[in-house]
Copies of this chain bind each other. A is one copy, B any other.
Amino acid sequence: MAKELTSRSENYSQWYNDLVVKADLADNSAVRGCMVIKPYGYAIWEKIQAELDRMFKETGHVNAYFPLFIPKSFFSKEASHVEGFAKECAVVTHYRLKNDPNGKGIVVDPEAKLEEELIVRPTSETIIWNTYKGWIQSYRDLPILVNQWANVVRWEMRTRLFLRTAEFLWQEGHTAHATSQEALEETERMVNVYATFAEQFMAVPVIKGAKSANERFAGALETYCIEALMQDGKALQAGTSHFLGQNFAKAFDVRFATKEGKEDFVWATSWGVSTRLMGALIMAHSDDNGLVLPPKLAPFQVVIVPIYKQADQLDAISEKVKEITAKLKALGISVKYDNNDTKKPGWKFAEYELKGVPVRIAIGPRDLENGTAEVARRDTLEKQVVSMDNIETFVQNLLDEIQANIFNKALKFRSEMTTKVDTYEEFKEVLQNKGGFISAHWDGTPETEQQIKDETKATIRCIPFDQVPEEGQCIYSGKPSKGRVLFAMAY
């Protein structure tokens, strides 16, 4: 029996949760707010990692690994960083358990109290800049272009699988530069890498832009981001890249001898994406039948299901499938052949639809006679009977078409769901009845942004890089504005 999903129109949030669990992507664990990423979900994450890692290396970065724990005092060194990060976090206070003297299991040994508490990293700027101090003496040691793949912990009160979890997996790039300009260029380079990845691999169109001061990373002078739109009209921040100026170098006293023989503090960037991307991927494309995966990130791109009554029919089909599989694999296409005898074809069809496999091929005895196969595409659910000759080329083209189609569909949706407004009334009306991105004039002050947020819950998602200069009036304060920014409700 197929696993039923709540429909999106009925309850979008429930649809998402159902989908994540029923498509075997992730599940809640016994530990509050921490998830288990199941093999099928993790296989998608591995593909995301592999592509990003390749792109990081192509742009000159190397990987390294820094400690999970950060001494509490490190957080106090960068004033705004501590406000943003050191509050809701997991604190290690002891390093030993012992048998309960009363015989009730095990208890924390009060004698094994740490002199200084350790924080499970919520992000690693502090421990990394403390380390960089030992690595950097002169301009010759710069730039340092390091990335780390790691788990981090932020003690979120309200969690949702992939979107907001206490522990999550991510990568965090931490670079050190001799000049402000070089660091700014790096900040921009990496937000561009994220945008390219999101659009070309995830098939999710994104808006690149700068965060307003209110939404900036704690400790950054500038935060660039990519913002995606989900099917419920809410925005999702999918990646950020921060220009940290000399803040962390000053906090950890990281100075270097310049080419000119002077001394200066080092310039920094940091940038990251996380398993939150999984949430964006799921919500951007999927439908009421289940997941829709872009072929470039699908754990397997093609599933072949045999249709048969007798064992000899299965044998003949399997023989043919072997041929087809070899041809597909030669083209770099990943294939699963599901000849499991304990499940009916109908069950399998529903299962692979739920799991978002881009292409399904069904082959029965009549197909063998006719030299044909039934090919179904997941994105449109269309089926067609095609000749087995050159089926591999057909499938290859179809995968490209699916990748392009789901991107274009998402782009069209975003375009329809982006609304220009010129009054606050209109703003509230669109926010309530339509959702999506709202392009509006803003006076540039944190106060106005905060008031709009307090009144409507909408935030400025970004000041787009491709903002068109345009004289206007702030929808809230009426003060002059030089261009529109994007507001939205957000995840």
Q: Which of B31, B72, B88, B169 contacts A118 (CB 8 A)?
A: B31
Name the contact of A71 in the complex, choosing from B31, B46, B130 (C-beta under 8 A): B31
Contact A64 B42 (CB under 8 A): yes
Considering residues A91, A105, A140, which has the most beta carbons from chain B within 10 angstroms of its beta carbon? A91
Q: Does any Cβ of B come within 8 Å of A257's Cβ?
A: no
Which A186-229 residues have a C-beta within 8 angstroms of B? none
Instruction: Please tell me if the beta carbons of A90 and B106 are within 8 angstroms of each other in the complex.
Output: no
Chain B residue nearest to A73 (CB atoms) is: B105
A482 on interface, CB distance cutoff 8 Å: no
Q: Is A134 an interface residue (CB 8 A)?
A: yes
Contacts of A342 in B (CB 8 A): 140
Residue in B34, B42, B43, B94 whose CB lies within 8 Å of A68: B34
Question: Is A380 in contact with chain B by the CB < 8 A criterion?
Answer: no
Task: For chain A, residues 75 to 94, give those with C-beta under 8 angstroms from any C-beta of chain B.
Answer: 75-76, 82, 86-94
> Contacts A118-B31, A131-B36 given: A95-B106 contact, CB under 8 Å?
no
Tell me the chain A residues, 132-153 only, with Cβ under 8 Å from chain B: 134, 140, 146, 150-151, 153
Provided the pairs A86-B97, A91-B108, A97-B91 are in contact, do residues A34 and B69 lie with their beta carbons within 8 angstroms?
A: yes
Assembly stoichiometry (copies): 2
Write out, one digit per residue, whether chain A residues 110-136 have a CB within 8 A of any chain B CB (1) or not (0): 000000011110000001001100100
Specify which of B36, B46, B134 is in contact with A67 (CB 8 Å cutoff). B36
Query: A30 within 8 Å of B by Cβ?
Result: yes
A412 to B95, CA, bound (A): 43
Complex: A449 Cα to B64 Cα, angstroms? 41
A155 within 8 A of B: yes
Q: How far is the CA of A62 from the CA of B71 in the complex (A)?
A: 35
Check B27 against A96 for contact (C-beta < 8 Å): no
**Proximity bits, A21-52, B CB within 8 Å = 1, else 0:** 00000010111001111110011011000000
What distance in Å separates the Cβ of A281 from its nearest Cβ neighbour in chain B?
A: 16
Whether B67 pairs with A155 at a CB distance below 8 angstroms is no
How distant is the Cα of A35 from the Cα of B68 in the complex, in angstroms? 10
Q: Which residue of B lies closest to A140 (CB)?
A: B342
With A42-B65, A62-B39 already in contact, the answer to whether A93 and B94 are too (CB < 8 A) is yes
Q: How far is the CA of A115 from the CA of B36 in the complex (A)?
A: 22
Residue A379, interface by CB 8 Å: no
Asked whether, in the complex, the Cβ of B97 is within 8 Å of the Cβ of A87, the reply is: yes
A140 contacts across to B, CB distance below 8 A: 342
9 extra A-B contacts, CB within 8 A, seeds A34-B68, A72-B108, A73-B105: A31-B71, A43-B63, A72-B97, A75-B106, A82-B106, A88-B96, A90-B92, A91-B94, A95-B155
Kindly list the 8 A-B residue pairs having the minimum CB-CB distance in the complex, ordered from nearest: A34-B67, A39-B62, A37-B65, A76-B105, A91-B94, A95-B155, A31-B67, A93-B93
Interface residues of A (CB under 8 A from B): 27, 29-31, 34-39, 42-43, 45-46, 62-76, 82, 86-98, 105-106, 108, 117-120, 127, 130-131, 134, 140, 146, 150-151, 153, 155, 167, 169, 342
